[in-house]
Chain A
């Protein structure tokens, strides 16, 4: 037993030495876990941000001018007054997400206490802005009209007070920063371990190892622990210096718990990487397999779109991947300060799925070695 552990340890040290000598890879890792995360976090913004809005003002009165001047950044970007012909062309070309049409006689109707009609055109292909933005526009117009008529807002019998937990200002940086880390953990760990295996095969060193008194499990575990270690160090750096330091995202939960979970997911993803490196015979094949796997993982595991709203069948499918559980785990720990009592089930899932990946990979890896 001690012999095996020693071998695993030494293989890992060897991998680390080699990786540290690979400048391109090291620069890549350093880049994604610093600037990559910074850019991702700061570029995503609140959903309705600088939404282009334009007005077709057929009324040309005080009230219509007041309405059209009440939209300003950061939520909206006023793109000016346009004619009704320009409206269609502009919306077709995607220049405006919203166009408000104020018909002639609008002010007259308002003043004479009639209910005046307004038209709001919304580009419904812009899913993220359309719904939320329309709500904001409605509110702004209602308020402006009330101001104009100098009516005090009608007192409603029930008021709704919405409170956002865990991210009171709905700051996208919080979400973007953490999700970027999660994405890069997956991407880098799969790429590193898969490529390390293919490189060993191409250089002939894999074959060389097989005539030594070592076994496949040791080779694989050596790769897994060393690659996980590198990524783990990078994650600690990114969390403390980039996310917490520069982006000043408050990390609610226990860092220790998060890193424990990260180690589990790294075990799973590094196994996945070796799995792909084993079934791919050449680097182009590995490239295609990588894209085919990584893209769904990045987009569908809940870090990009709301997971619970996906089709049920797809949700079940995604539950088979450890990353889905990891996203849920990470959100619970980092945003909601959830403790082990809450997230143990996610961690168990990650471990179980990771273990299955590991064992299947080990079997295939062994067989591929025997075939030569």
Chain B
């Protein structure tokens, strides 16, 4: 027997949580091998390790006879493996069309145009996606997304196909179609090995080989038949429960739902013709139903069929487009707080505060429902006991296993003892035992306490437990009745088969009306650096950028807006200063002196002062910034040629302004003295032995605008590109498409440059726009060469986008990336890059930051070329500095960027 993967003593843990515990395993080649088990038992981790996406912590793994611990080895087989991660369309790009998505993957595997086109055509045909090839991936149904994911995985004819829960949340028809497709492919490529993880036990019945896992350990390996035989059960669900260790399965018994007795009670929920439209898209199409008090009513259907939307309309979270719904006879969307007090709602995803403990979550909700203070503790205690949460009382919700979390959600939803529970897929991803115990609690609530339960699910066996169900597909209810009647209507044995029958009727599609054609083998080329892969990333990023016009316009319009406001606003002309005088002499001479100052354009005269106290008070209140005090006897002293002191008070809070004011006053003072001397002596005496001729160069009029614009442009060219770049990478991390960077042969450098190019282009467009605006609108002369400035700008935007990339390589969340980029770029640029004070005047840490911060150098270049007409020989040291910055930043990014998950 050939072996496709060998695991020896492999363990993996996340923090304190052990995901896989010392697994040794050989997986046979050329067959379909399924990993079964609930969420969080280590299936995904094992698959990610085999695919090379996750870093091995301990043990060795050989895939296709190659030890993948070593990076070089891993790269050499990368192009023979395909990995499809968990989650609907997780590694797809939602704004790209079906065709563009596959094309992106084809480029990553270096297929040329001819090969690419014929392969994509073939794949689309075989999967039935050909008619949808121009539809954006985001607008596909869950089943179609998974088919597209499969196309992307098969584009390079992998020898090993790894599928992590490919059918979770997909409707039963699409699920059947998916597996039929896989079967066809395997018939054509018999040597291909397929590894699948699944949470639907019934799917695993068809696999060649199954590996059952629990708590990071392997419980069983063998064929499905062997498993059933060993445990003496007739389906895998039960077989799996039988496999579990004693303490887990203890107390588990087959769940029996007592029959609902129709006592003709009032209706708890009534919906009539509920419809919800989002634009052209009809999410829910005139859905009607009536649910009696104490009934368990189920909604069955795939992800995206309108279950959640209907529930949200019932809870008043979404206003309906048409139709009406009543809860206990009151309009659902009336916003009546009383309704909310009577309804418990559990959202699809876990939506409690993961940062709070079990107790804190319960307490918060008890308080929000205003349960009387004296009863709160008792109620919390009751909930902790009833839902078996006592052992987890002080554990943070983020550290709870999924099954426990769901129990907590339920506890929170019923803490105020509501009459009705609305539960949106409460058991998705939960293991069979926990699911059963969860259902036991539900049945207890319904039959014991008479609570009405409205629940949605995509598990068929859960549907069978409901009193009545509605089958939903694409916003419509296909049929509604008791599960038994529905099965009988279609003459089938199981609810699943009946549902598939309903779906086939509704969609006019059959399970297998597709034909898989044979493809010639793709050559598994391996290359260290490939322009095609690099271009693949650039092209894809550009498409995404163009398809998100809000981001793009925001970036470009934002730059223009900021240039406007900052260039006009950052003014270092000190003028319009509020000035007042305390004239204690009140003679023509004193008035003349004051007139000499107040007449200048720098000062605005305020009403006169009458005392020193008034001066203090008005300066304190900010009414005046400068005050001149003329002493009594000023004129007399002048006449007697005695020296007299004039006092000037300046608000020194802003040192730059104060210094400038002092300079102004000194100048005016000397002017006055000259003027005085000329009047009395008839000539101007020389005050100095030398006449100093001042040459204000480059900006003779001292115009702030001319000095600021060349500095504001660099400022904008760091913020916007750095933020866009940083967020674009971190976004991939959060959305999950970063997997493609881990799983395909693309190298770090290709990824980095490929992603950078579109942002460099956008930034350069911004740059030209800013320069045009400066020259034509602001009349700031561009004295030097535009070509040289553009070259420097190009170097600069490569630096700033690189900086964004560098930040993204250590930031895990978008908010962290945002905060880090803002703080790391904003503060140094404003304070230390020579925008206001030249770097040479800075001290301490600021001086060091100013020297190594690239913005400093581009501000220098920009000012030199804009105002001073400097040529290349003048700016090359600064350009060299930028070049060094690019190299340093790129190397650091390469070092920090991880091509595997931890």
A binds B: yes
Contacting A at CB under 8 A, from B576-634, are: 576-578, 593, 619-622, 625
A283 within 8 Å of B (CB atoms)? yes
Contacts of B647 in A (CB 8 A): 161, 163
Name the residue of chain A whose CB is nearest to the CB of B637.
A157
Contacts of A141 in B (CB 8 A): 688, 690, 692
One digit per residue, 1 when the CB lies within 8 angstroms of any chain A CB and 0 when it does not, for chain B 531-571 equals 00000000000000000001100110010011001101111
Docked complex Cα distance between A163 and B651 (Å): 9
Name the residue of chain A whose CB is nearest to the CB of B860.
A94
Are B826 and A117 in contact, with the CB atoms below 8 A? no
Are A123 and B697 in contact, with the CB atoms below 8 A? yes
Are A160 and B648 in contact, with the CB atoms below 8 A? yes
Are B696 and A124 in contact, with the CB atoms below 8 A? yes
Question: Which of A85-93, A257-265, A354-362 makes up part of the contact surface?
Answer: A85-93
Centre residue among B555, B814, B832 by max chain A CB count within 10 A:
B814
Are B651 and A165 in contact, with the CB atoms below 8 A? yes
Contacts of A45 in B (CB 8 A): 837, 841-843
Q: CB within 8 A of B663: which of A44, A132, A211, A285? A: A132
Docked complex Cα distance between A91 and B728 (Å): 41
Are B843 and A204 in contact, with the CB atoms below 8 A? no
Q: CB within 8 A of A284: which of B370, B669, B814? A: B814
B673 within 8 Å of A (CB atoms)? yes
Contact residues of A: prevailing secondary structure: helix
Are A115 and B356 in contact, with the CB atoms below 8 A? no
Are A372 and B652 in contact, with the CB atoms below 8 A? no
Q: CB within 8 A of B318: which of A36, A40, A372? A: A372
Are B367 and A10 in contact, with the CB atoms below 8 A? yes
Are A309 and B575 in contact, with the CB atoms below 8 A? yes
Q: A40-B831, A213-B369 are in contact. Are A155 and B694 (CB under 8 A)?
A: no
Docked complex Cα distance between A162 and B628 (Å): 9
Contacts of A154 in B (CB 8 A): 685, 687
Are A191 and B650 in contact, with the CB atoms below 8 A? no
Docked complex Cα distance between A306 and B658 (Å): 10
A331 within 8 Å of B (CB atoms)? yes
Contacting B at CB under 8 A, from A116-173, are: 116-132, 134-135, 137-138, 141-142, 145-146, 149, 151, 154-168, 170-172
Are A162 and B648 in contact, with the CB atoms below 8 A? yes
Docked complex Cα distance between A140 and B657 (Å): 21
A81 within 8 Å of B (CB atoms)? no
Docked complex Cα distance between A233 and B136 (Å): 49
- Total residue contacts A-B, CB cutoff 8 A: 425
Contacts of B860 in A (CB 8 A): 93-94
B70 within 8 Å of A (CB atoms)? no
B794 within 8 Å of A (CB atoms)? no
B15 within 8 Å of A (CB atoms)? no
One digit per residue, 1 when the CB lies within 8 angstroms of any chain A CB and 0 when it does not, for chain B 864-890 equals 100110100011011000000000000
A365 within 8 Å of B (CB atoms)? no
Contacting A at CB under 8 A, from B311-340, are: 312, 315-319, 337, 340
Name the residue of chain B whose CB is nearest to the CB of A52.
B840
One digit per residue, 1 when the CB lies within 8 angstroms of any chain A CB and 0 when it does not, for chain B 658-680 equals 11101101110100110010000
Are A157 and B644 in contact, with the CB atoms below 8 A? yes
B1 within 8 Å of A (CB atoms)? no
Q: A163-B650, A203-B351 are in contact. Are A47 and B571 (CB under 8 A)?
A: no
Q: How far is the CB of A368 from chain B (nearest CB, A)?
A: 12
One digit per residue, 1 when the CB lies within 8 angstroms of any chain B CB and 0 when it does not, for chain A 30-53 equals 001000100110111111111110
Are A3 and B370 in contact, with the CB atoms below 8 A? yes
Contacts of A52 in B (CB 8 A): 840
Question: Which of B26-34, B218-226, B844-852 makes up part of the contact surface?
Answer: B844-852
A72 within 8 Å of B (CB atoms)? no
Are A288 and B819 in contact, with the CB atoms below 8 A? no
Are A162 and B662 in contact, with the CB atoms below 8 A? yes
B256 within 8 Å of A (CB atoms)? no
Question: Which of B40-48, B341-349, B511-519 makes up part of the contact surface?
Answer: B341-349
Are A115 and B697 in contact, with the CB atoms below 8 A? no
One digit per residue, 1 when the CB lies within 8 angstroms of any chain B CB and 0 when it does not, for chain A 186-213 equals 0100010001001100011101101111
B101 within 8 Å of A (CB atoms)? no
Q: CB within 8 A of A372: which of B312, B667, B868? A: B312
Contacts of B279 in A (CB 8 A): none
Are B575 and A157 in contact, with the CB atoms below 8 A? no
Q: CB within 8 A of B706: which of A42, A125, A164, A288? A: A125
Contacts of B702 in A (CB 8 A): 124, 127, 130-131
Contacts of B349 in A (CB 8 A): 203-204
Are A304 and B836 in contact, with the CB atoms below 8 A? yes
Are B641 and A157 in contact, with the CB atoms below 8 A? yes
Are A291 and B719 in contact, with the CB atoms below 8 A? yes
Name the residue of chain B whose CB is nearest to the CB of A176.
B831
Docked complex Cα distance between A49 and B847 (Å): 12
Docked complex Cα distance between A132 and B710 (Å): 22
A299 within 8 Å of B (CB atoms)? yes
Q: A14-B356, A138-B692 are in contact. Are A331 and B653 (CB under 8 A)?
A: yes
Contacts of A296 in B (CB 8 A): 562, 565-566, 569
Q: A115-B689, A125-B706, A292-B561 are in contact. Are A158 and B843 (CB under 8 A)?
A: no
A214 within 8 Å of B (CB atoms)? yes
Are B704 and A212 in contact, with the CB atoms below 8 A? no
Contacts of B844 in A (CB 8 A): 39, 42-43
Contacts of A91 in B (CB 8 A): 697, 868
Question: Which of A20-28, A224-232, A235-243, A267-275 makes up part of the contact surface?
Answer: A20-28
Are A116 and B837 in contact, with the CB atoms below 8 A? no
Contacts of B660 in A (CB 8 A): 131-132
Are A288 and B570 in contact, with the CB atoms below 8 A? no
Contacts of A32 in B (CB 8 A): 823
Q: How far is the CB of B88 from chain A (nearest CB, A)?
A: 17
Centre residue among B369, B621, B720 by max chain A CB count within 10 A:
B621
Name the residue of chain A whose CB is nearest to the CB of B711.
A125
Q: A46-B655, A205-B351 are in contact. Are A117 and B690 (CB under 8 A)?
A: yes
Are B565 and A300 in contact, with the CB atoms below 8 A? yes
Q: CB within 8 A of B827: which of A40, A162, A207, A289? A: A40
A336 within 8 Å of B (CB atoms)? yes
Are B847 and A43 in contact, with the CB atoms below 8 A? yes
A298 within 8 Å of B (CB atoms)? yes
Contacts of B355 in A (CB 8 A): 17-18, 21-22
Q: A156-B673, A288-B720 are in contact. Are A211 and B343 (CB under 8 A)?
A: yes
Q: How far is the CB of B896 from chain A (nearest CB, A)?
A: 16
A314 within 8 Å of B (CB atoms)? yes
Name the residue of chain B whose CB is nearest to the CB of A155.
B643
Docked complex Cα distance between A171 and B656 (Å): 10
Contacts of A214 in B (CB 8 A): 368
Q: A10-B364, A159-B644, A187-B822 are in contact. Are A370 and B620 (CB under 8 A)?
A: no
Q: 4 other contacts beyond A141-B688, A164-B650, with CB at 8 A cut-off?
A: A46-B659, A115-B691, A157-B638, A157-B673
Binding site for A on B (CB under 8 A): 312, 315-319, 337, 340-341, 343, 345, 347-356, 360, 364-365, 367-370, 396, 550-551, 554-555, 558, 561-562, 565-566, 568-578, 593, 619-622, 625, 638, 641, 643-660, 662-663, 665-667, 669, 672-673, 676, 685-700, 702, 704, 706-707, 710, 719-720, 723-724, 727-728, 731, 814-816, 818-819, 821-823, 826-827, 830-832, 836-838, 840-847, 849, 860, 863-864, 867-868, 870, 874-875, 877-878
Sample 8 A-B pairs with CB under 8 A, ordered by A number: A42-B846, A47-B655, A93-B864, A93-B877, A126-B707, A128-B838, A207-B351, A309-B574
Binding site for B on A (CB under 8 A): 3, 6-7, 10, 14, 17-18, 21-22, 24-25, 28, 32, 36, 39-40, 42-52, 77, 89, 91-94, 97, 106, 110, 115-132, 134-135, 137-138, 141-142, 145-146, 149, 151, 154-168, 170-172, 174-175, 187, 191, 195, 198-199, 203-205, 207-208, 210-214, 283-292, 294-296, 298-300, 304-306, 308-311, 314, 318, 328, 331-332, 335-338, 342, 370, 372
Give the 10 A-B residue pairs with the shortest CB-CB distance, closest first: A43-B846, A164-B652, A283-B814, A167-B652, A124-B699, A127-B572, A204-B351, A208-B351, A124-B696, A170-B655
